[in-house]
Amino acid sequence: MGGVGRCFIIVLLLFTRHLHAQPIIVWDRLLTHPNSMVPDLLRRALQVTADEYGPFQIVPSERMEQGRVIKKLAVQGNVQVAVFAPNKYREEIAIPVRILVKLSYMSNP
């Protein structure tokens, strides 16, 4: 019985991992970006991948300037997603995701 009980707990833990929304800490300025396409694209990307990675909850970061958010990206867990123009330093501390906005599915022809 002890082996069956342990197996059930492991399976239950693996199953419940997908029941709880994963918090995604997003730079507050991304969520209030003047171009609504920016936060919409993030939400859409998370929705499309929810079946594979589980449910999500977007959590805005504390209010901060760009220089500070770049430093926070270097420390895992403080901010997970931000948007700004790339440069060599930013691409070294973060994983860049390049999206050609002009030809994306959300742009107008």
Domain that holds residue 64: 2-103
- Domain membership of residue 108 (yes or no) is no
Rounded Cα distance, 105 and 82, in Å: 21
- Condensed to tens digits (0 to 9), the pLDDT of residues 32-91 reads 989 898 899 899 999 999 998 889 999 999 999 988 988 888 887 688 898 888 889 888
- Domain membership of residue 81 (yes or no) is yes
Look up the pTM and report it: 0.69
Structural domains of the chain, count:
1
The burial of 79, by beta-carbon neighbours within 10 Å (0-12 exposed, 13-18 middle, 19 or more buried), is given as buried
Rounded Cα distance, 90 and 49, in Å: 25
Higher pLDDT, 77 or 97: 97
- Residue 93's pLDDT is 83
